[in-house]
Amino acid sequence: MTTPLKSAPPILTFDEFATRYCERQQYEYDDLLYTLTQQVQRFNPDGWMLLECADMSSSRLGELTILPFGGKASYKEVPTHPVSPRGLASDMSTVVAVLPKDNLPTCDRRPLPEAEQEVLAYIKSLKEGERVVETGDGPESGRHGTITKSLVVDNDDLSVKWDKKKGEESDPWMITPITWGTRRCIDAQVEDWVVPDTLRVYDNGGETMDRYTVLRLDWPYNDDPNDKIVQCLGMGTDPRGYCNHGGAMDGDHLGQLIEWNSLPKPCKEAAKHFLED
């Protein structure tokens, strides 16, 4: 036998409802608004009830759950007695607040996560004609491009004209959505590297820990003028894992010769002193 509630739960505004739930459950305000908006389309409920687990012997004690009521929802009205949101004996909860559907603010689209908000801010700072390089671990990492459209609103696309690689016959144009490669461009900067002619960069494709080797042909490793060994820096894809100065001879035994700008951004930062005179 269940015990009926002593009094009707309070009716809250969305701000009050969201604050009470999000603080306890560590949930984002905008994400909750979006989720409930999606439930309107699915269930067409009369509103939502906030349930709090009241089982003193349960590890869920105090946990909050939101369920729709009315319309196509399982609960046609707000229950007047404790219920179990998950159908478990250890999950008995009581309704502590109600949010009518009319109190739900308008939500036109899903809010961007924090990382994508940073991406959007970065893209909006770009200007047409600026040079960028795509960063990250993807297959296109290190390619260069020119911004061809800088106006980005909400989830509109960013237009980048990517440079053709040597021997490439495909069309260099690509529309890069914010939710794809542009997210990896968040740390990209306008190209301002000045690369000396004596710099060499090799990539062995990951055969060894020191995948990338950066050399300066005009920096001898020792005082012997006949020695062809020059100063170098060997590092992995992430130089925080492996990064070591040493000496090496220039040649394809180090891998494939690549451009400086094909290096991942962390490797550029680790080796940027090789650009100095």
Q: What is the mean pLDDT of residues 1-17?
A: 77
Sheet order of strands, 93-100 included? 64-69, 47-53, 93-100
Provide the 10 A C-beta neighbour count for residue 97: 19
Residues 150 and 175 in one domain: yes
Where does the pLDDT of residue 139 fall: very low under 50, low under 70, confident under 90, or very high at 90 and above? low
Residue 4 lies in a domain: no
The three-class DSSP label of residue 44 is coil
pLDDT at 120: 57
Residues 40 and 98 in one domain: yes
Residues 63 and 28 in one domain: yes
- For 194, residues 6+ apart whose C-beta sits below 8 A from its C-beta are 275
pLDDT at 117: 60
Final residue of a structural domain among 49, 80, 103: 103
Q: Is the predicted pLDDT of residue 266 greater than 90, yes or no?
A: no
Q: Is the predicted pLDDT of residue 2 greater than 80, yes or no?
A: no
Q: Is the predicted pLDDT of residue 206 greater than 50, yes or no?
A: yes
Q: Is the predicted pLDDT of residue 176 greater than 70, yes or no?
A: no
User: How remote is the C-alpha of 129 from its chain's centroid?
Assistant: 26
Query: How far is it, in rounded angstroms, from Cα 171 to Cα 173?
Result: 6
Final residue of a structural domain among 103, 130, 160: 103
Final residue of a structural domain among 184, 211, 245: 184
Residue 160 lies in a domain: yes
Higher confidence at residue 76 or residue 264? 76
Domain count, the chain: 3
Residues 90 and 123 in one domain: no
The enclosing domain of 176 has a CATH number of 2.30.30
Residues 136 and 87 in one domain: no
Which amino acid would we find at residue 264? Answer: P
Residues 70 and 19 in one domain: yes
Residues 18 and 97 in one domain: yes
Residue 265 lies in a domain: yes
DSSP string, 149-211: E----TT--EEEEEPPPTT--S--EEEE-TTTHHHHTTT---------TTEEEEE-TTSSS--
Query: How far is it, in rounded angstroms, from Cα 101 to Cα 83?
Result: 21
**Residue 218 structural domain:** 199-275
Residue 8 lies in a domain: no
Residue 66 lies in a domain: yes
- For 169, residues 6+ apart whose C-beta sits below 8 A from its C-beta are none
pLDDT at 60: 83
Residues 168 and 223 in one domain: no
Residues 33 and 71 in one domain: yes
- Percent of all residues in the chain with a pLDDT value above 90, rounded to a whole number: 30
pTM, two decimal places: 0.42
Q: Is the predicted pLDDT of residue 126 greater than 90, yes or no?
A: no
Q: Is the predicted pLDDT of residue 68 greater than 60, yes or no?
A: yes
Q: How far is CA 20 from CA 14, 142, 165, 231, in A?
A: 10, 46, 55, 61
Residues 213 and 179 in one domain: no
pLDDT, tens only, 146-173: 666 544 444 444 556 666 655 554 444 3
Residues 52 and 88 in one domain: yes
Q: How far is CA 123 from CA 43, 72, 76, 139, 192, in A?
A: 37, 42, 47, 21, 18
Q: Is the predicted pLDDT of residue 66 greater than 90, yes or no?
A: yes
